C-alpha cells in the first residue's frame, strides 16, 4: 500500500454489510429507516444507502441538508434544534424538498411562522433522559402550547415526537443500553397515547447506534435514525454495539520514528486527522485508537497489546510490544481504527476505498 | 453581529500585539525567531508576521511547508520526524527553498541520502524529557553515528540540535514551567559544549509557547519556535502563559435552545468546530471553552460562572447562571474562547477579522 500521508481507508464490503443489516432490521420491524448522514458526510456513501431503498435521511445542520439535497435527497430531517439564524436557507430548501425541523421552544415556532413561506414539518424534540436539549416528555404544558401554535399555522405541520437517547453512550453494559432503550420507548409511547386521537399520523422517531445495534425488534416506535453504524468505531466496539470486524474505516499512516527503550512507534497521524476523542480500554488504558496491519486491500485484527496512547496535532504515539516494534520499519504504513469515526470522517476530505475509488466529503466539496 | 453558523473571529489587534511582543522578546535575547505556523495555517496571518521582519518559519508537515512556500516563505523547518514517504515532495521543496528536516534515527538519514538530489539541512531531534520522539540528549552513540553519516553526505548538512519541551503543557505552576525550561536549556547546552569545536555554527533550537511566554531571557540558546502564542487559548491561560485578554480568537455561534431548569444554553457549535480538547478549570469543572459576549467588533471578559460543559458533533451545551440565561435569546450570537486554538483553527476554513476581512486557511485553499 503506497501511502505518503494519513489517508482514511474505507472497506466497502464492511460498510455495505453494516447498511444491509440495519436496512433489514428496520424492515423486519416495519419502521421507517432514516439514517443519520452526519457520520459519513459523503454523497458517494449516500449512494450506497440508496441502493438498498433508503430515501429519507437525517442530518445535523442546514449546511449538511443543502449538501445532501444537492445530491438528490429530498426528504431530510435536520436533527438539531432549529437555528433561526438560517431561516432563509431553510426556506430555500423547503421549496423543493420535504424538510423536517426540530423544535425545543415556543420562540422558534413563532419566528418560523413569521419568516418561512414554504411548508415544513415540525418534530417536537423530546428529552427522555439524555438532558442535552428537548422538552421533558412529561412537560405537557410546553408541548400543548407548541402544538396549539402549530395548529394555527398554514406553514408548519406537526409530524411527531423525536428523541435522541445519547445517554446510551455512557452505558456500562449491553443490559444498561437495553434498559435505556426500553425506558425511552415507554416515555415516547406515553406521548403517542396522549396525542394519537388528535394526530393519528404522528411519528415516534428515535434510535441511536448503540440501541439500534443491540435491540432486535423496534416494536412500538415508527422511525429509527442511527448514523454511526455505517462505519462503527472503537467506542461502539467498547459499548458492545459491534464486533471489531464491523469497523469499516481505518486511518492508514506512515511510521516516522521508533523508540526501542519505551516500546513506542511514532506515526504521522495526529489530532487533525483522528480528532482528540479518547476512551478507556478494558485494561483501563486511555486510548485514541487501535492498531491494525494492512494486507493487500484489507486490514488485520488489532495488533495485540498495542494502542495509540497519545496524540498531538500531527503525531500519534503507539505503545506496543517488542515483536511488533521489530516488525515495523520507518516508512511502514499501519492502520488506526478510530475511537469516534464521525469526527475522524469529518476531518477528512475523502475516503479511499479498498476498491481504488475516492469518495469525497462535504467538507472538501463545499470548498471546491 | 450577523452570524448564522459557527464563525471563527480573529481580533487582529490582539493577534498583532502577541506577535510584536514575541518578536521583541526574541530580538532582546538576540535569538532567531522561527514561529511555528501550524497554529494559524493561514497565508494572510503569515503576512502579519512578515511585517515585523520574520523570515524563517516552522511547520508540522510537508503539506504545510508546500503551502507556506507557495506563500513566499523560503526558510522552513519541518518540525516533525522526517516522513520518508514524502521524499519526492521534500526534494521539490528543497530546489528553491532552505528546508530544515528533523532526524530521530539512522535509517532516515540513509534513505534521504539515497533519494534526495537537492541539499537540505538536518536538525537532530533531541529528547530532553518530553519523551514523544527524539534521541535522548545523553545518547552520544546514536548522535555520533548520525553525525558521521551526515558528514559523509554531499546533500545533507548538519545545522544543530532541536527539541520540543512539550511537557511544559503538563506543568502545575509557572515555576514548574521555568524549571522545565532551565533543565531543557542545560541539557541542550551540554550538546553544544560537546560538539561546538567540530560544528561552530550549530544551532540550539527550542521553545514551546508556555516557556517562551514565561521566560524573559533566552540566554544560551540560538532559536525559539513558539506557535500557539499568536492566538493563545484557555489552555495557555490556565497554564499562566497569557492573560485572558491576550486570546485573539473566539468562535461566534448562535443560541439554538435554552433550559431554565438546568440553567443551560445550547449553541450551534460542536466538536467539528472547536475540537474535543478539554481542560479542568480552577473549580475542577471539565470545560470545552469559556463564554464571551460580543459588543460591536470586540468581545467581553468571560461571563461569570459560565462555561462550555459538553460538546457533541454540532452542539455545545453551556452551563450558566440565571442572569445570563435570561439575557440570551434564541438566535443570540455568543462567543466561545477555545481550549486549544491550534485545533480549532485547523477545523476552520477561514477567519473573519474584526476589521471585516476574511483570512482563508490552508485547509480551504488546498481544496480550492
Query: Cβ–Cβ of A349/B367 closer than 8 Å?
Result: yes
Its ipTM equals 0.96
Average pLDDT over residues A182-203: 97
A85/B272 CB distance under 8 A: no
Nearest C-alpha of chain A: how many angstroms from B1? 11
Ramachandran angles phi, psi of B291, nearest 5°: -105, 135
Residues 6+ apart with CB under 8 A from B294: B1, B9, B252, B300, B333, B334, B335
| Cβ-Cβ contacts under 8 Å, B368 against chain A | 367-368
Question: Is there a contact between B85 and A331 if contact means CB atoms under 8 Å apart?
Answer: yes
Chain A hits for B105, CB-CB cut-off 8 Å, are 257-258, 330
CA-based nearest residue to A224, from A239, A209, A235: A209
pLDDT in tens, A134-163: 999 999 999 999 999 999 999 999 999 999
pLDDT of residue A139: 96
Question: Distance between CA B202 and CA B159 in Å, rounded?
Answer: 5
Q: Which of B191-224 are b and which e, b meaning 16 or more Cβ less than 10 Å from the residue's Cβ?
A: bbeebeeebeebbbbbbbbbbbbbbeebeebbbb
Q: How far apart are CA B4 and CA B84, in angstroms?
A: 43
Contacts of A152 (CB under 8 A, 6+ apart): none
What is the pLDDT at residue B207?
A: 87
Q: B40, B67, B83: which to substitute to probe chain A, counting the most A Cβ within 10 Å?
A: B83
- State the Cα–Cα distance between residues A228 and A245, nearest whole angstrom: 15
CA gap A17, A8 in Å, rounded:
19
Residues 6+ apart with CB under 8 A from B6: B251, B252, B253, B268, B269, B273
Q: How many Å apart are CA B206 and CA B212, to the nearest integer?
A: 9
Distance from the A248 Cα atom to the nearest Cα atom in chain B, whole angstroms: 20
CB B241 within 8 A of CB B290: no
Query: Nearest by CB to B60, which of A3, A63, A313?
Result: A313
Contacts with B317 from chain A: Cβ below 8 Å:
132-133
Provide the sign of the torsion angle of the four alpha carbons A220, A221, A224, A229, taken in this order.
negative
- How far is A294 from A327, CA to CA, in rounded Å? 13
Contact between chains at B82 and A256 (C-beta distance less than 8 A): yes
Rounded to 10°, the helix A106-115/A87-96 angle is 60
Q: Please write the tens of the pLDDT for every residue from A68-111.
A: 999 999 999 999 999 999 999 999 999 999 999 999 999 999 99
User: In chain B, whose CA is at the least distance from the CA of A79?
Assistant: B314
A contact test, residue of B39, B228, B312 with most A CBs within 10 A: B312
In this structure, are residues A227 and A342 in contact, taking their beta carbons and an 8 Å threshold?
yes
pLDDT tens sequence across A194-229: 999 999 999 999 989 999 999 999 999 999 999 999
Give pLDDT, residue A368.
60
Question: Are A259 and B331 in contact (CB < 8 Å)?
Answer: no
> Which residues on A lie below 8 Å from B60 (Cβ)?
313-314
Count other C-beta atoms under 10 Å from residue B65's C-beta: 27
Residue burial A245-280, b: 16+ Cβ < 10 Å; e: rest: ebbbbbbbbbbbbbbeeebbbbbbbbbbbbbbbbbe
pLDDT single digits (tens) A21-58: 999 999 999 999 999 999 999 999 999 999 999 999 99
**Residue B351 CB neighbour total at 10 angstroms:** 25
Q: What is the mean pLDDT of chain A?
A: 96
How far is Cα B368 from Cα B361, in angstroms, rounded to an integer?
11
| pLDDT, tens digit, 9 for 90 and up, residues A257-271 | 999 999 999 999 999
Cβ-defined contact of B266 to A315 (cutoff 8 Å): no
Backbone φ, ψ for residue A152 (5° rounding) = -85, 0
Q: How confident is the model at residue A299 (pLDDT cuts 50, 70, 90)?
A: very high
CA B203 to chain centre: 21
Least confident of A289-293, A342-346, B268-272, B352-356: B352-356
Closest by CA position to A161, among listed A109, A123, A199, A104: A123
Do the chains contact at B86 and A4, CB–CB below 8 Å? yes
What integer pLDDT is reported at residue B296 of this predicted model?
82
Are B103 and B81 within 8 A, CB to CB?
yes
Mutate to test the interface with A, among B66, B226, B259 (most CBs of A within 10 A): B259
Q: What is the pLDDT of residue A321?
A: 98
Phi, psi of A187, rounded to the nearest 5 degrees: -65, -40
Task: Read off the DSSP letter of residue B249.
Answer: E
pLDDT tens by residue, chain B, 368 residues: 789 999 999 999 999 999 999 999 999 999 999 999 999 999 999 999 999 999 999 999 999 999 999 999 999 999 999 999 999 999 999 999 999 999 999 999 999 999 999 999 999 999 999 999 999 999 999 999 999 999 999 999 999 999 999 898 989 999 999 999 999 999 999 999 999 999 999 999 998 999 999 999 999 999 999 999 999 999 999 999 999 999 999 999 999 999 999 999 999 999 999 999 999 999 999 999 999 999 988 999 999 999 999 999 999 999 999 999 999 999 999 999 999 999 999 999 999 998 899 999 998 887 66
Please, is A95 exposed, middle or buried when counting C-beta atoms within 10 Å of its C-beta (0-12, 13-18, 19+)?
exposed
Cα–Cα distance for residue pair B228/A35, rounded to 1 Å = 39
Measured in angstroms, the CA of A112 and the nearest CA of chain B are apart by: 12
Interface probe with B: pick from A39, A61, A235, A257, most Cβ of B within 10 Å: A257
Burial class (CB in 10 A: 0-12, 13-18, 19+), B56: middle
* Single pTM value for the model: 0.96
DSSP state for residue A36 in the 8-state scheme: B
Amino acid at each position: 500500500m503506497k501511502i505518503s500521508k494519513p489517508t482514511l481507508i474505507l472497506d466497502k464490503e464492511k460498510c455495505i454489510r453494516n447498511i444491509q443489516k440495519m436496512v433489514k432490521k428496520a424492515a423486519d420491524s416495519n419502521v421507517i429507516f432514516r439514517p443519520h448522514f452526519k457520520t459519513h458526510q459523503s454523497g458517494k456513501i449516500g449512494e450506497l444507502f440508496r441502493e438498498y431503498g433508503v430515501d429519507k435521511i437525517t442530518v445535523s445542520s442546514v449546511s449538511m441538508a443543502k449538501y445532501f439535497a444537492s445530491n438528490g435527497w429530498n426528504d431530510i430531517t435536520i436533527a438539531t434544534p432549529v437555528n433561526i439564524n438560517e431561516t432563509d436557507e431553510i426556506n430555500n430548501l423547503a421549496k423543493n424538498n420535504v424538510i423536517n425541523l426540530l423544535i425545543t421552544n415556543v420562540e422558534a415556532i413563532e419566528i418560523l411562522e413569521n419568516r418561512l413561506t414554504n411548508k415544513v414539518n415540525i418534530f417536537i424534540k423530546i428529552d427522555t433522559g439524555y438532558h442535552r436539549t428537548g422538552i421533558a416528555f412529561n412537560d405537557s404544558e410546553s408541548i400543548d402550547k407548541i402544538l396549539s401554535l402549530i395548529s394555527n399555522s398554514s406553514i408548519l405541520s406537526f409530524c411527531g415526537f423525536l428523541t435522541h437517547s445519547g445517554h446510551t453512550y455512557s452505558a456500562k453494559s449491553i443490559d444498561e443500553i437495553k434498559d435505556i432503550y426500553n425506558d425511552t420507548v415507554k416515555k415516547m409511547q406515553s406521548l403517542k397515547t396522549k396525542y394519537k386521537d388528535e394526530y393519528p399520523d404522528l411519528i415516534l422517531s428515535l434510535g441511536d447506534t448503540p440501541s439500534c445495534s443491540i435491540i432486535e425488534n423496534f416494536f412500538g416506535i415508527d422511525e429509527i435514525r442511527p448514523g454511526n453504524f455505517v462505519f462503527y468505531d472503537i467506542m461502539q466496539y467498547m459499548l458492545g454495539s459491534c464486533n471489531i470486524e464491523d469497523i469499516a474505516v481505518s486511518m492508514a499512516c506512515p511510521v516516522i520514528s521508533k523508540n526501542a527503550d519505551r516500546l513506542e512507534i511514532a506515526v504521522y497521524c495526529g489530532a487533525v486527522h483522528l480528532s482528540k476523542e479518547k476512551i478507556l480500554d478494558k485494561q483501563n488504558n486511555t486510548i485514541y485508537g487501535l492498531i491494525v496491519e494492512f494486507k493487500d486491500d484489507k486490514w488485520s485484527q488489532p495488533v495485540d497489546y498495542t494502542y495509540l496512547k497519545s496524540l498531538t496535532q500531527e503525531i500519534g504515539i503507539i505503545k506496543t510490544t517488542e515483536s511488533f516494534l521489530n516488525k515495523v520499519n520507518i516508512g511502514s504504513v499501519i492502520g488506526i481504527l478510530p475511537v469516534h469515526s464521525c469526527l475522524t470522517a469529518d476531518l477528512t476530505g475523502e475516503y479511499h476505498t479498498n476498491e481504488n475509488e475516492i469518495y469525497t466529503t462535504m467538507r472538501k466539496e463545499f470548498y471546491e
